[in-house]
Structure 1
Amino acid sequence: MIFTLLSCLLLNTAVQAALDTWTNGTTEECVCEAFLPNGTFPNGELILLESTSIEINRKLEIEISKVEMYEVQIKVYIAKIVNLTVLIESMEADPDSYNELHIEEVKIKIKQVEALIVELQTSLQITSAVLITIREQIDVMISALTRLEITYDRNLVLVTRRQYIILQQKLLECERRHNEIFNPNIGVCSHGGINRISKPIISQLNANLNSGYKYGGWGKDSSPVSGSENMYWYAGAADTLFTTVTLYSDYYKLIIRQAFQTNQLYVYNKYDWRGSGNNYIVRSNAVYYQYNNPFRMAKFNLTSATVETKVLPEATTRFSYHYSPNQNLDFAADETGLWVTYATEASNGKLVLGKIDENSLELREVWQTSVFKPSVGNVFMVCGVLYATRSVDSKTEEIFYTFNTHTRRETYVSIQFEKFQDSYVYLDYNPTDQKLYMYNNGYYVNYHVWFNQNDTPKLNHEN
C-alpha cells in the first residue's frame, strides 16, 4: 500500500513538471488512482504478536531457572536421604548404641525431608501448569502466524514466525527437563493406566501447508536408534493412499519444514510399495503400514529403502474406523513392543489385537475383543493395554473402552478430551515421551498423558 501511494506521488510530480513545460505555465491536474486490496496487512496484529513473544520469552526464562533450581534441590534431597538411610542401617545393625533421643532426632530429620519433598512437588505442579499455559499461548500465536503467512506476504511474517519457533524449542527443552524431574518413569509401566489427557497442543498445519491434506500422520520413532532420538516424521495426502514419508531431524526442522530425508513408496516402472489408510508408525527406523495391493502388513526400512511384507491371516478390508475409510490394519507401539489391530469376518467386525514379532513380522499372540470396530474412532496401546476412543460430540472425544492383554480383562471407562476439530484420522501413543500424537484435519496435534500413580500395582508386561 505504501509503495503504491509513493509511486502515485512520484508520478503526479513528474507529469505535473512535464505539463508545466508543455503548457507554458498552464496548470493541469494529474489523478492517480490506487486500487488497494480488500484487506491491508495487519501491522498492528504483527506488533502485538512480537510483544507477546517478548512476554512469553520472559516467562520461559523464569520457569527454566526454576527447573534448574529444582534439579539442584533434588540432588540435595537425595544426599539427605542417602545419609538418613546410612544412619538408619547403622542403628538397625547396632541398636544398643542408640537411645530414644537419637531415634527422635532421626524422626525429625525424616519429617523435614518429607516436608521438603512435598514443597518441591507443589512447586513442580505449579511450574507444570505454567508451562501448559505458555504452550497454549505459543500455539495460538503459531496458528495466527500460519494464517498471516498463507494470507499475506510470507516474507513479512517470517521473522516473527522464527521467533515463535525458537520459543517452542525453549518450551520443549524446559518441558523435557521438567518431565524428567516430575515424571522420571517414562518407559516404565508401574502405574494403573491413563488418568486424564491434556488439552490439545496444536503445532501448525502440515508440512505441505495444505488444508486439503486431511489424511496422514506424524510423530516420533517409538524406539529410536542411536542419534535419532529427536527425529520426527510426517506423511500426508489428499486421500487415503500412503505414498511418501518425510523425516525431520528435530521439532524445529519439522516446524520450518526442512526435511533431511523423503522416502517415495512409488516410482513409475520401478516399484509400487504404496499403502492404504493412515495408521502407520515409525519404530526402530522402519515404517509399519498397511500394504495396498495385495492387502497385507508391510515394513519399510528407512535406511536401506527396502520393503518386507507379510499376510495377516483372516484380516479383512470390510471394517474400518468411524472417521476414515481403509483403516483396516492399525499399527501401534508401546513400552512392551509392536502391535496391530484389525477385524475379521469370523469376529463379525469386532476388534482383534495381535502382538507382532518385529524380526519375523509374524504374530506372536492374538486377543479377541468385544468392541465393534466401525463404532471406534481410533485405538492405541499403552503398557500392553488397548485404549479405544469414540466421538462424544463435535469437540469432544472419549476413551470409552480398554482391554488389558495381561489379564484379558475388558473395561468400559470415560476419559474425555478435547478433539480440536470434529474428526481425525490418526491417533497413536509414543512411549518415549508419553504423549498422544493426532493428525486432525491436516494439523499436527499432540497431548500429554497422565497416569494413575497412587497405590497402583505394577503391570507385569512382556519384555
Structure 2
Amino acid sequence: MVPALLFFALLRSTLAIVPIGYGDFGNVTAGADENGQCVCKVFLSDNTFPFQKVEQLQTTSRELSLKVEQGFSELKVYESKLAIYVQKLMNLTVRVEIMEKEPDKYTQLEFEMLRIELQEMEKLVTELRQSVNSSVIFDHLYVEIRNMTLVVNQLERYDKNNLLVIRRDFIKLQKKLEDCEKWREESFKPEIGSCNHGGITNVSVPYIVQLNAHVSEGYIYGGWGRDSKPKPGFEEIYWYSGYSSPYTNNIYLYSDYTNLLLRNSYKNWVNDNKGNGNNNVMYGNYYYYNCYNSGNICRINATTFNVETRVLSGTAWNSRFSYSSATYQDFDFAADENGLWVIYATEASKGNLVLSKINTNTFSLEQTWDTNLFRRRVSNAFMVCGVLYATRQLNLYTEEIFYKFDTQTGEESYISIPFNKQYEGFVYLDYNPADQLLYMYSKGYYIFYKVQFQKLKQHA
C-alpha cells in the first residue's frame, strides 16, 4: 500500500515536469486567483492514474495480509499437529508390523482403536493437502496411511477368520468331549486281573517310550514288556530282546521301568538256544519263544538260564503262515488274565489261526481251538480274558482290531476298533494283564497303548 504523503509528493513532481495541455493528463485550466496569483487546475482521468484501483488494491492488500497472517497461524497449528502425528505414525507403523507377525493375539477392540487413529491421521493429511500448494510429500503420506488402513483391515479379517477357525475347532472339540463323556460312561477300566467287562471298546493314542537298549533303529526285530505274571518281589520286572534280523539272540532284564529307561539291565545273556520271530513273552519268570528253525516252542528260566523245549504236533517250521507284518513269526505267545497262550497256523488248518492254551506247570498244551481266520490276513494278534483279538493294517499309520474269537463260547465275529501307529510297520504287539496295556515294538522303539473296556450293564 502507497502512503498518502508519498503519493502527493509524486503527484507534485509529476506536474512540475509535464507541460500544461500536453500528454495524458486530460483537461488543464490556468488563470489568476483573487490575489492575482497564477493558479493551475488539472483534472486527471481514471486511465491517467487509477485512484479507485489503488484503493481497491489497498483494500485487497489489507485482506491478503490478514489471510496470510491467518494462514501462518494455521500452518503453525498444522506444524504442531504434524509433529504429534508423525510420532503417532511411527508408533502405528511399529504396531502394524507386530500385528502382521502375530495377528491372532489381538482383539477386536484393539483393531477398532487402531482404525480410529488411522482415520484421524488420514483426515489431517487431507486437510494439509488442500491447504498447502506443495502437496507431493502429503500425497505420499496419504498413500502410506491408506496402505496402513488396508493392512489393518486385512489383519482384522484375518483375525475374524482365525476366530471362526478357533470357534469351529472348539465346536469339534466340544463334540469330541461329549463323545468322550458318553464313551466314558459306557467304558471303564476294571481292576487288574478282573474280567468283569464286555471286552475292548477302544485303544488310546500310542505312547512312545524310547529307542531300544541297543540305541539303534537297525534293531527292528524283537519285543519288550513286563513279566505278565511276576513272582512275589519281582512285580516290576521288564524285559527286552532285539536284533537286526528276525532271530532271538540277546535278552535283557530290568528291575523296574526306570532302569529300562536308563538302559541299566541287571541281567542280560546271549541265548545259545536262539529262536525265531518276535512275539515272545515273559510269564512267571520264564521267557517263552519259538525255537530256532523248528516247529518247537522253548522257554528259558530267567534265574537258572535252563532251556526247555516242547514239540507241537501238526506244526512245522516253514514260515508259510507268518503274520503279514513280519516274517518267521510261526508262534505268537500271548498272556492274559486266564493264562498263557500260543497262536499259530498249520497245514491241517489250511493256514487259518489256531489257538492253544499252555499249561505252564507241565509246559504242554491243555486245549486247542480252530478259527476261520486266515493267518496271512492278520498283522498281529493278542489275548484278553480268553478272547483272541486280531489286527490288520488299514493304511500306513492306522491299525484296526477287526476280529475276535471267544474261547468260552467258540463264537467269532468282526469288529472295528482302529488305532494309530507312530511308524509305518511293527513286528510285536501283546497285551499284558499285569497293567492292562498293549505293548508294541515298532522300528526299534518301545511303544505302549492304554486299553478301555465296555462296562457290563447292571440288571435291576
Q: 1:456 to 1:409 in 2, by over 3 A?
A: farther
Number of matched pairs: 272
Distance 1:265 1:409 in 2: 39
Aligned to 2:323: 321
Are the counterparts in 2 of residues 395 and 422 from structure 1 also a CA contact under 8 Å? yes
Identity between Structure 1 and Structure 2 (%) = 49
Aligned to 1:147: none
Distance 1:375 1:319 in 2: 10
Aligned to 2:245: 239
Aligned to 2:430: 428
For structure 2, list consecutive stretches of 5 or more residues without a partner in the other structure: 1-176, 181-187
Distance 1:384 1:370 in 2: 17
Are the counterparts in 2 of residues 333 and 430 from structure 1 also a CA contact under 8 Å? yes
The residue matched to 2:290 in structure 1 has which SS? Answer: strand
Are the counterparts in 2 of residues 425 and 439 from structure 1 also a CA contact under 8 Å? yes
Q: CA deviation at 1:231?
A: 1.3
Aligned to 2:257: 251
Are the counterparts in 1 of residues 196 and 456 from structure 2 also a CA contact under 8 Å? no
Are the counterparts in 2 of residues 296 and 311 from structure 1 also a CA contact under 8 Å? yes
Aligned to 2:302: 302
Q: CA deviation at 1:184?
A: 5.5
Name the aligned partner's letter for residue 240 of structure 1: P
Distance 1:307 1:253 in 2: 26
Question: TM-score under structure 2 normalisation?
Answer: 0.58
Distance 1:439 1:184 in 2: 25
Aligned to 1:227: 233
Name the aligned partner's letter for residue 200 of structure 2: I
Aligned to 1:195: 201
Q: CA deviation at 1:221?
A: 0.3
Q: CA deviation at 1:456?
A: 7.4
The residue matched to 2:376 in structure 1 has which SS? Answer: helix
Q: CA deviation at 1:183?
A: 4.1
What does residue range 279-358 of structure 1 map to in structure 2 within 5 Å? 279-316=279-316, 317=318, 318-358=320-360
Are the counterparts in 1 of residues 206 and 449 from structure 2 also a CA contact under 8 Å? yes
Are the counterparts in 1 of residues 224 and 240 from structure 2 also a CA contact under 8 Å? yes
Distance 1:184 1:275 in 2: 35
Aligned to 1:210: 216
Name the aligned partner's letter for residue 339 of structure 1: W
Q: 1:435 to 1:456 in 2, by over 3 A?
A: farther
Distance 1:456 1:423 in 2: 41
The residue matched to 2:217 in structure 1 has which SS? Answer: coil
Aligned to 1:185: 191
Are the counterparts in 2 of residues 281 and 288 from structure 1 also a CA contact under 8 Å? yes
Are the counterparts in 1 of residues 190 and 453 from structure 2 also a CA contact under 8 Å? no
The runs of 4+ residues in structure 1 deviating greater than 2 Å are none
Q: 1:261 to 1:199 in 2, by over 3 A?
A: same
Are the counterparts in 2 of residues 263 and 302 from structure 1 also a CA contact under 8 Å? no
Q: CA deviation at 1:387?
A: 0.2
Distance 1:454 1:404 in 2: 17
For structure 1, list consecutive stretches of 5 or more residues without a partner in the other structure: 1-125, 130-181, 267-272, 458-463
Are the counterparts in 1 of residues 190 and 196 from structure 2 also a CA contact under 8 Å? no
Q: CA deviation at 1:294?
A: 3.7
Name the aligned partner's letter for residue 386 of structure 1: L
Are the counterparts in 2 of residues 191 and 456 from structure 1 also a CA contact under 8 Å? no
Cα shift readout 1:206-252 (whole Å, capped 9, x = no counterpart):
11110000000000000001111111100010001101110011111
Distance 2:293 2:362 in 1: 21
Aligned to 1:107: none
Q: CA deviation at 1:263?
A: 2.1
Cα shift readout 1:317-367 (whole Å, capped 9, x = no counterpart):
321000111000110000000100110101111000000111112111110
Are the counterparts in 2 of residues 190 and 456 from structure 1 also a CA contact under 8 Å? no
Distance 2:294 2:331 in 1: 13
Distance 1:305 1:433 in 2: 26
Distance 2:406 2:353 in 1: 14
Distance 2:204 2:458 in 1: 21
Aligned to 1:412: 414
Question: TM-score under structure 1 normalisation?
Answer: 0.57
Q: 2:373 aligns with which of 371, 374, 385?
A: 371
Distance 1:447 1:392 in 2: 18
What does residue range 83-98 of structure 1 map to in structure 2 within 5 Å? none
Distance 2:207 2:379 in 1: 19
Q: 2:405 aligns with which of 396, 403, 420?
A: 403
Distance 2:397 2:261 in 1: 25
